[in-house]
Chain A
Amino acid sequence: MRRDPLALLALPGVGYLVIVFLAPLLLLLYASVRGPDGFSLDGYARVLGDPYYRGVIGASLQLALITTGGALLLGYPAAFALARARGTTQVVLFALIFLPLTVSIIVKSFGWGIVLRRDGILNWALLNLGLIERPVRMIFTEGALYAGMINVFLPFMVLPIYAVVRMLDPRLPDAAATLGASPWFRFTRVTLPLSLPGVVAGVSLVFSLSVAAYVTPSLLMGDRYMTMSMVMAKAFLNLRDWQLGAAMAAVLLVVALVVVVGAAALQRRLGGR
């Protein structure tokens, strides 16, 4: 085989990632099966067997599911309006969706706290509208957590769907209309299937980000809602129980991998039609 000298340019970058990314990751997987006296699956036994840790895994998955569902429900129709806007309007709308992505997650979670406080903006608005008589407790409730999570991850749903919808050929639904298809039929049989690649991209992105969330749940809920990431952080920083943390990390890694591989397989099938 002839060596291509140009290929050597990849060496510094790829080598760097092998040493500083791949090797530590393998070391972490090794730590998850390394007990005090050699090989042990004790970490996994605890993470997958103990009802407490099983509950944490379930809670993380539930949080990710609700976040993804909520973001899809809001983001899908919004992406269509964004794609339909023209000229300067579209640039401005686009910038407004894009800006929150660049604002620190800590700033956003902090702002969300101000919105939901007992003397915060939402209670103030509801009181002045006469909808409630006294301030309602909102912060540190699960509803507030879900809203905060959707708030943080929503742009990751809107942007991929928008990217696909923007490229849709507007003549296709028109052609279906010419052929006598009802609006509902046109949406479910033409527009919706064509937009699915964007939906798959958005759903997998939001799910894998929210299942690993750390900052938003810990700021909005604290210890009351433990996620996998929070258990990992606690195991490494407070409990010094590295095997437990490493096993939890491996479980999270498997979840992330399943989402990525599943989404890629779905995309191939959608692309193949």
Chain B
Amino acid sequence: MERLGRIVSVTALALVILFLLLPILVVVPVSFTEAPVFRFPPEGFSLQWYEKIGRVDGLLSAIGLSARLAALATAISLLLGTLAAIALVRGVVPGGAAVTAFTLSPLMLPGLVLGIALLQAMREIGLRDAWWSLLLAHVVITLPFVMRTVLSSLSLFDFSMVDAARTLGCSYPVALWRVLVPNILPGFVSGALFAFIASFDNYPVSMFLVDVRTKTLPIALLNFIEISPDPTLAALSTGLIVLTIAVLFLCDRLVGLRRMASI
């Protein structure tokens, strides 16, 4: 019985991992194929689809736009979120628990609901600029991710350690830098990473706010799938997957993967 349970759980884990990786790994061989249609097993070897990424209209600019948007929204969220988290953990905020729940609530909201709410509000006030609409919206998407992790690492931090450092001769800023910052750094890194991914990968909010000239990567990708699907998409996906693995590896070195994912 005990053995049986162990066999069932190990088999389930193996199946889960295989199942999760299948649709991700399958795009890699397709990206090196020679034929313009996806076929499995792939035929021949070529890098033409990687070259084509640069030639497909709007794909590179969409990558640039999404990266800029995600970076800027994450930076703004880190600033606003850290200030708010400090106030909520260290200060006396009236209705603190409710305010905390409110700052995290965009996480629970179905993405499309936020998208149409913002579309309607922007129409109402006459904001028609896609870039600014997207930035305003993406800060709402990223802020709760930053809040969640920074809040939890701040509330786990023992602030008497800062006092201890000062007793031992550190000035206040030095004490903050050498004691507080290393302790809450994992919270920052994982909050920022999740925020960046949430923005970079967002479809349901962005789809209402983009215009013909300002398209984020997920929108451009989906348009491309609908109009002319070819292995270029697999090439781009492979590139994104490799980039993701590199970033995850870096974050693991920096703060430890498991510590980061304890969401």
Contact = CB atoms under 8 A, between A and B. Distances in A.
A111 B23 contact: yes
Interface in B177-217: 197, 200-201, 203-204, 207-208, 217
A11 to B, nearest CB: 8
A107 B84 contact: no
Interface in A112-140: 112, 114-115, 117, 119-121, 124
A225 to B, nearest CB: 16
A236 B137 CA distance: 17
A212 B112 contact: yes
Contacts of A124: 40-41
Interface residues of B, number: 91
Contact of A236 (B119, B140, B258): B119
Interface residues of A, number: 91
A159 B173 CA distance: 37
A81 B203 contact: no
B132 to A, nearest CB: 11
Contacts of B90: 6
Interface stretch (A38-46, A47-55, A70-78, A265-273): A70-78
B245 interface: yes
A10 B23 contact: no
Contact of A95 (B11, B208, B240, B252): B252
Interface of A is mostly: helix
A53 to B, nearest CB: 16
A253 B27 contact: no
B136 A74 contact: no
A208 B91 CA distance: 33
B38 interface: yes
B118 interface: yes
Contacts of A169: none
B114 interface: yes
Contacts of A82: 13
Nearest to B207: A233
A107 B27 contact: yes
Contacts of A90: 258
Contacts of B16: 74-75, 78, 97, 154, 158
A104 B200 CA distance: 9
Given A80-B9, A106-B218, A27 B21 contact: no
B22 A115 contact: yes
Interface in B73-98: 80-81, 83-84, 86-88, 90-94
Interface string B1-29: 11001101111110111011111111100
B120 A253 contact: no
A58 to B, nearest CB: 17
A94 B118 CA distance: 36
B27 A214 contact: no
Interface in A173-222: 182-184, 187, 208, 211-212, 214-215, 219
A69 interface: no
A124 B26 CA distance: 13
Interface of B: 1-2, 5-6, 8-13, 15-17, 19-27, 30, 38-41, 80-81, 83-84, 86-88, 90-94, 99, 102-103, 105-106, 108-114, 116-121, 124, 136-137, 139-140, 143, 147, 197, 200-201, 203-204, 207-208, 217-218, 221-222, 225, 233-234, 237, 240-241, 244-245, 247-248, 252, 257-258, 261-263
28 contacts: A8-B87, A10-B87, A10-B93, A13-B83, A14-B99, A25-B113, A80-B9, A81-B9, A84-B9, A93-B17, A97-B17, A97-B20, A98-B261, A99-B21, A100-B21, A103-B244, A104-B237, A111-B27, A114-B40, A124-B40, A151-B19, A151-B20, A154-B16, A160-B263, A229-B204, A249-B116, A252-B110, A253-B110
